[in-house]
Structure 1
Amino acid sequence: MVDSDPAGVNTWGACGTTTTDGSFRFTFYADPNATGPGLGQYDAKADLHQIGGGYQGHFWYAHSRDTDHLGGDGGRMTVLGDWKLNGAVDQGQAAIYAHIPDTGAQVKDALYEIPSALGTAKVKISQDAHNNQWVYLGAFRFNDAAPEVRLSNSTYTGSGDDDIAWDAVAFVPGDYGIPKDHAVDLALPPVDTDSPNPDQADQPVTDQVTKPLVVDEEMGASVAAPQTVKESCGPVKDGGQVCFGRPLKKPYKIPKAAGSGKSARDTGVAPKLTAADDPGGAAGIADWCDDDDLVARATRTLVCENREVPVYYRKDGEIKATAYFIFQRLIELDGVNSFEEHFTVKPVSIPVDFAQIQLGIYEHLCDSPCTPVEADPSAWRGQPSWTAGDTHTAYITSGYTWDNSTAGQTYEFTPDVQINGIADPVDDETIQTVGYQWSLGGSSGFDVIRCDTLTGTASAGCVVPNYAPTYTFNAAKYPQAAAHAWLIQHEMPTSPGLESADTPLYYLPGGRDGDNRDEICDESGWARTNYDPEAMNSADDDPNCDEFSFNATYNSGGMPAELGGLNPVSSGSECVQTYAQMDSGTIHLRNLPGTVPSFNEVCGRSAISGVQNQGSMAAFSAGFAKKMRLMKKDAYWLDTAILGTCAPRTGNFVQCTMTTD
C-alpha cells in the first residue's frame, strides 16, 4: 500500500499514524514568465489542497484542467502525482487498486498511467462514480522494476471546476498470466505516400453466391434456398417426342475417337464453347465465360452461365437419340434503365439420328416494370440450325428496359427466356418441343437483378445483388488501418469480411447514425489517451479510434442483437485493444499495455493515425459504395492488401512482419 502521506504522520484520528510501502510525490511545472519580485514559479501549488478524509484520514486534491485552462503536458497549472512501491514484486506482476475519497473527487475522466514492462498503460476512471471505493485499475507486468502509478489533474475536459483527488494506491503481487512480451506485435512496413489507390471498379469474377443479410427484427439475423429442376417435353406425336433434359452437372463425355484412345472432345473434333475464329456473345464482354465450365459466374454488373443441355428423341417412351448443346447466357447491366442478354448456342454432339435441329428464342419474361425487348430473328449471328456433326456457333442479343421514372424505388427482376426447338429425327416426322425455359433448368443464385432509382447514386442503374464486391485497402499508403483489419480478420473467430472464410461484411449505411461507433469507441478521448505521438504521420495528425468490424456494418460489435447485430458487445473494452507504436524506427501495432487478448474477441479497436484511418476508407463512400450500388444488408468483402509473415503461434501470441502486395 502506498499512501498520499509518508509513514509516521499523525492522522489525529482513529487511524493513528500513517503507514506506507513506498513513496508519493508531486511534480509541478515552472511558469517561465514568473520572474518578477514576489512571483512564485509554480502557480499550480496554489491550487493544490489537502484535507482529512480518504484512506488513513488524508488525501490531496486540485482542480482538473485542459490546455485552455493552463493544464496539459508541462502546463503551469498541471499537477502530477506519483505513487511508487519501494521495490519490485514477486513474479514481476501486480494488480493495482486506487482509493477514491468520498469528497473532493468529482472528475469523470481521471487518467491513471501505469508504466509497465510492456509500455505505459492508461486507465480512465470516473472518480465521481466511485466515491469512497477502491477501484480496480488492472493487472500489469513490471518484471524487475518497482510498480508505479501516475495521476495528473490535466484532462481533456477540465475547466478548473471539478475536483480531482490523490489518495492511496494498493499493489497486489501475484501471477496474473500476463505474458513477458507483447501478445500482439505486428511490425509494419514504411508508409508509401505515393502508392496509387486501387481501382475499386475492377472487381473479380466469382462463382460464389453471397446473398444480402436477411434480418428478422424479432428473431435476429439469418442468411437467406433449391428448386426442382425440370425437363421440358413436347407433345407425343405417333409415339415420337422430343425433350430438353435437365442441364448436366458434368460435361457429356463424347465417345472415343477411333484409334486415339481419347474422346472427340479431347482430340478437338468437338471444339470448346467458343473457338477463336467462331466467337459467341460473350466475346469482348466476358471472355472469362468462353470456356467449357458448366457454372454461373458473375461480377457486380455481369452474369454469365454455361449449361450443357441434352435434347432427347424418344420413341414410344424409349430414348433413341440424344444431342448435346451448350447454352451460354450472359446478362450485361450496362445501361441506366436497360440491360442486355447475349444468348449463345454451341453444339457439343449431334448424332446422325437427327437430320436437323433448329432452335430459336420464343420469348423473354420479366416482371413489371421490366419489359423485354425482343430481337428480330434476323439478329442471330450464325444460323440457329444444325445437322449431324455440325459445330458452328450461333448467338443473339436481346434487351430489357425498366421504368426508372419514379425516384427512391428499388426493384428486383428475374429475367427469363424460353427457347423453342424443332427436331427432325431420321425416319420420323418433324417434332416441335414445347420449349426450354431457363428458370426451369435450375437457379444459379445469380438470377436476380436489382435496379434502383435511389438518390444516393448519380443515376438509376442495376446490379447483381448476390455478388459481393470487394473493397481493397491501399495498404502501402495506410498500413496501420490495414494491419488492424488484418489482425481481426485472421486471428479472431469471426474473420469479418474475409472471403476465404466466407464471412462477409453486411452494409449498414451510417452505422445507426454513428451509434455503433460510439459503442465501440465509447470512452471520450480513448484514442488520444492511448496513442503514441511518434506513430502519427505528422505533428498535425490527430489519433483516431479505428473500429473493426466497421461501424457501418451489421458485423460491428456496436450493433445490438435485437436489430440484427451479428457480434454485439456492450463496450469497446470487450474488443481486442491495440495501438500503433514507434519502436526503433519501425511502427508496430501492439496490444495496449494492461490488456491481454484471448483471441476469442469479436471486434477490435485501435488507437492509430487519423490520416491513415480516414484515408483507408476515403474511397469507400466516395466511390465504392455508389459504384457498387450498395444497399442496406448487402454483403461485401474487405481485401486488406497486407500480408503477415508470422512466428509460429505459441499460446496467445501473434508476432508478424507485415508486407504489402
Structure 2
Amino acid sequence: MTVTGTWKLDQAVANDAKVYVHLPDHGAQTNTARYEVKTVSGWREKTVKQPGTGNRWVYIGTFRFKGNVPEVRLTNITTDGTGNQDIAYDAVAFEPGKWNTLPEIVIPKCNPDAPETEFIDNDMQKQPSPLGPAPLVLKAPQAPSSLFLNAPENCGETSQKGVRQCTAIDHNIGKYQAGSAQASSGWRQAANDAPLVSWCNEPSVTGYTLKRREGCHKLAVLTRWEKDGKTIGTAVFLVREETLLSNSASFEQRMFISPMSISPELGNVTLDYWDALCTANCSSSLSGSWSGLTTWTPAVDSHTASATRTFTWTKPTSGTSEEFDRGTILKFSAASPAAAGAVATKTPSWSFFDEIQCDNNLAVANSTGCVFAKHIPTWSASTDKYPPAAAYYWVMREGLASHPGSKKHGTPMHRLKDIKEQRKNCNTICNKTGTDAWVAHPEATPDDKGRVQCDEFPFAASEESGGQTLTNGGGCVQLYARQEPDDTWRLHEDENYNPPTWTEPCGRASMPGQDNMDAGRGPGLQGFYTKARVLNGKPFYIELPGYEGCTLTEVYVPRP
C-alpha cells in the first residue's frame, strides 16, 4: 500500500527558502527516502539517507518559490524497497530568504570599438621530459670518471671488440654546470646559426617547454666508454633542441651541442652521429652542414656546434591530420685507441610521442600547417567588447564544479565542430518548449536591436556542452544580464527557476543578442580556432582578462 505524507506551509514565500526535514532517533531506516518539493518551476526531488544518530534536522536544499506556497511530500515507495524497513515521517521546516549565491560583480560598460582579441602564441607550457635512458642521481659533486657509477644506462657494443659505449640523459643540467671547468659561457659560443626559438636561451627555461608552434628541449647527455667492464672515461654534453613549426607541411629543428666535461683518457671526442626519426608519412633530412667544429679537446674546447634538420609531412591529403612521434639519436666517438670504435644503433636516445600534429584543410580552409599537439592553447575573450558575456563565462568557469575551460584546474574544453551536434546542444539547453523551457527574463537588457537570447556555457560548440548529458536546460545555472542606469552591468540569478547548487554541468543566461552571437561563437573565437589550428575534439582553455586571479567571493570592479 502506498502512503504519502504531505507538508504545506500556511503562507506563500516571496523568494527562496532553505528546506529541512526532521528525522527521529527511531523508525528511520531507509537509505532512499524520496522527498519532493513543489517549486515555482515544478516538483524537485531529493533523496535522503534516513538512518543516523539521534534526533536531527537534515538540510535537503534551497528552492525557489517566488510567491507560491511551499509544499513537500514523501512516499513510502522507494527504488530499493523490500518491505522490511521503516520510513519516518516527521516535521519539515522552511527558512525563507533571498539566498543569492552569485557574487556582486560591477561589470564595466561595453566599448563597441574595442578590437576582437587575437591569438598570440606566448604561453610557455612545461611538459613531461621525453622518454629516454633514466637520469643520473648525483648525491654529491663527482669527478667526470665517476659520473656513471651506479647510474642506469643504455649501453651498446662498439665496432672494437670489448669496448662498450653507455649513454644516459638528465634534464637537471644545473648540477653539471656547477664547477665545470670546460662549460661554455653561452649555448651558442662559436656557433654561427641564428636561433629558431629566441626564448629558449633564457636560464629560467628548463627541461621540455612548448608554445603552440615553438619548442625548447634542454638536457645533459652523458656518455661513458668501458672496456672489459672497466670505465675508460666519460663525457658530458649540454644539448639543446629548438623546434619551429609553421603553416606549412615542413618544420625545422636546430640542435646546439657544447661540452661540460671530457675525461682526458678519451682524447678528443667527436660527434659521430646525429639522426632524427619520424613516424610514418614523415621524412627528415639534414639542412646544410654543421656550424662549428664537432670535435672537442678535453679541458680546452668549450665551443658550441649547431646544425638544422627539416621534417616534412609526406602525405598531406586534404581533409586529414596526423600526429607524429619523433626520436633523436646522438652518438659520440673517442680518439683514444683504448676507447676507439663506433656504435651502430637506430634506437633513439630520447623520444617524443604524439608530439606534433599536422593537418591539411581542417583547421584552416586551403591551408596546411603543424602545431604542438600537447600544447593546449588559450582563447582570450574580449572583456571590453562583450563585458556581460565575458563576466558570465568567468562566473561559470569558476563556479561550476567541472570548471570548464580552466587552466588553473587543468580542465580544458574541447572543440565540437559538427554543426548538427552544435544545434542539438543549443536546442537542448535553450529549449523554448517543454519542461523548463527557456523564457527571456523580463528585466534582461536587450541589444541595440531589442534582442535577448539564450546564452549557454560551456559553449554549444564544445564537447562539454550541457546538451551532451541533459535533456533540457533546466539542469543549468540560470542567470540574466541587466544594464544599470550608469551603463555598468550586473549578473542576476533568474528567479523563475530553481536557485543554483553549483553542481550543475552548465549555465544558461538571458544575454543581449549581439553578445551571445559574437562573444562565444563569433569572429574572436573562430579566429582563435584558425590561428591556433584547433581541430575537432582538441582541447583549449578560456581566459577572461581583468577577472583572472579573482575569486567568486569578492565584490569588485574587474581590473583594467
- Range into which the TM-score falls when normalised by the shorter chain: 0.7 to 0.9
**Partner residue of 1:659?**
558
Q: Deviations over 1:334-365 (max 9, x none)?
A: 35221112122122222323311111444433
With the length of structure 1 as denominator, give the TM-score of the two structures: 0.62
**Partner residue of 1:492?**
400
Looking at both structures, which has the greater relative contact order when contacts are Cα pairs under 8 Å and sequence separation is at least 6? 2
SS at match of 2:408: helix
Total equivalences in the alignment: 462
In 1, the alpha carbon distance for the partners of 2:16 and 2:399 equals: 28
Cα displacement (A) at 1:631: 1.7
**Partner residue of 1:581?**
482
Alignment CA distance shift 1:241-1:486 (3 Å) = same
Cα displacement (A) at 1:141: 5.2
Cα displacement (A) at 1:272: 5.7
- Aligned to 2:292, which of 382, 392, 395? 382
- Aligned to 1:557, which of 466, 479, 485? 466
In 1, the alpha carbon distance for the partners of 2:271 and 2:133 equals: 24
Cα displacement (A) at 1:479: 1.4
Alignment CA distance shift 1:555-1:176 (3 Å) = farther
Question: Which runs of 5 or more structure 1 residues have no equivalent in the other structure?
Answer: 1-87, 96-120, 126-137, 148-173, 210-224, 256-262, 560-567
> Does the CA-based 8 Å contact 2:184-2:259 persist in structure 1?
no
Pairing 1:286-305 to 2, within 5 Å after superposition: 286-291=198-203, 293-305=205-217
In 1, the alpha carbon distance for the partners of 2:222 and 2:373 equals: 31
In 2, the alpha carbon distance for the partners of 1:362 and 1:178 equals: 74
Q: Does 1:274 align with 2:152?
A: no
Q: Does 1:626 align with 2:548?
A: no
Q: Does 1:532 align with 2:443?
A: yes
In 2, the alpha carbon distance for the partners of 1:478 and 1:433 equals: 62
Q: Deviations over 1:364-389 (max 9, x none)?
A: 3334432223334xx21111111113
SS at match of 1:509: coil
SS at match of 1:321: strand
Q: Does 1:180 align with 2:98?
A: yes
- Aligned to 1:608, which of 511, 520, 526? 511
Q: Deviations over 1:206-234 (max 9, x none)?
A: 1247xxxxxxxxxxxxxxx9787662434
**Partner residue of 1:643?**
547
Q: Does 1:411 align with 2:322?
A: yes
Pairing 1:76-115 to 2, within 5 Å after superposition: 89=11
Q: Deviations over 1:260-304 (max 9, x none)?
A: xxx425xx96346626x5568672534235547542111222222
Alignment CA distance shift 1:93-1:631 (3 Å) = closer
**Partner residue of 1:521?**
430
Alignment CA distance shift 1:413-1:446 (3 Å) = closer
Cα displacement (A) at 1:236: 7.0
**Partner residue of 2:304?**
393
Cα displacement (A) at 1:480: 1.1
In 2, the alpha carbon distance for the partners of 1:319 and 1:353 equals: 10
Q: Does 1:325 align with 2:237?
A: yes
**Partner residue of 1:30?**
none
Cα displacement (A) at 1:393: 0.9
In 1, the alpha carbon distance for the partners of 2:370 and 2:499 equals: 47
The one-letter amino acid of 1:314's match is: E
SS at match of 1:611: helix
Alignment CA distance shift 1:335-1:423 (3 Å) = farther
Q: Does 1:334 align with 2:242?
A: no
Cα displacement (A) at 1:319: 3.1
**Partner residue of 2:80?**
none
In 2, the alpha carbon distance for the partners of 1:657 and 1:235 equals: 69
In 1, the alpha carbon distance for the partners of 2:244 and 2:403 equals: 32
Pairing 1:497-516 to 2, within 5 Å after superposition: 497-510=405-418, 512-516=421-425
**Partner residue of 2:454?**
545
Runs of 4+ in 1 over 6 A off after TM superposition: 121-125, 225-228, 644-647
Alignment CA distance shift 1:357-1:451 (3 Å) = farther
In 1, the alpha carbon distance for the partners of 2:363 and 2:549 equals: 44
In 1, the alpha carbon distance for the partners of 2:211 and 2:204 equals: 19
> Does the CA-based 8 Å contact 1:329-1:341 persist in structure 2?
yes
In 1, the alpha carbon distance for the partners of 2:105 and 2:416 equals: 30
- Aligned to 1:233, which of 156, 166, 169? 156
Cα displacement (A) at 1:315: 3.0
The one-letter amino acid of 1:380's match is: W
In 2, the alpha carbon distance for the partners of 1:487 and 1:507 equals: 20
In 2, the alpha carbon distance for the partners of 1:351 and 1:470 equals: 47
In 2, the alpha carbon distance for the partners of 1:417 and 1:338 equals: 18
The one-letter amino acid of 1:196's match is: P
In 2, the alpha carbon distance for the partners of 1:291 and 1:437 equals: 30
Alignment CA distance shift 1:437-1:272 (3 Å) = farther
With the length of structure 2 as denominator, give the TM-score of the two structures: 0.73
Cα displacement (A) at 1:550: 0.8
The one-letter amino acid of 1:329's match is: E
> Does the CA-based 8 Å contact 1:355-1:424 persist in structure 2?
yes
> Does the CA-based 8 Å contact 1:407-1:455 persist in structure 2?
no
SS at match of 2:291: coil
SS at match of 2:491: strand
The one-letter amino acid of 1:264's match is: G
In 1, the alpha carbon distance for the partners of 2:183 and 2:472 equals: 63
Alignment CA distance shift 1:363-1:253 (3 Å) = closer
The one-letter amino acid of 2:285's match is: V
**Partner residue of 1:253?**
175
In 1, the alpha carbon distance for the partners of 2:426 and 2:398 equals: 22
In 1, the alpha carbon distance for the partners of 2:391 and 2:443 equals: 16
RMSD: 3.5
- Aligned to 1:420, which of 312, 331, 355? 331
**Partner residue of 1:402?**
313
- Aligned to 2:226, which of 314, 318, 334? 314
Q: Does 1:199 align with 2:118?
A: yes
Alignment CA distance shift 1:312-1:645 (3 Å) = closer
SS at match of 1:375: strand
In 2, the alpha carbon distance for the partners of 1:616 and 1:467 equals: 24
**Partner residue of 1:131?**
none
> Does the CA-based 8 Å contact 1:298-1:446 persist in structure 2?
no
SS at match of 2:393: helix
SS at match of 1:253: helix
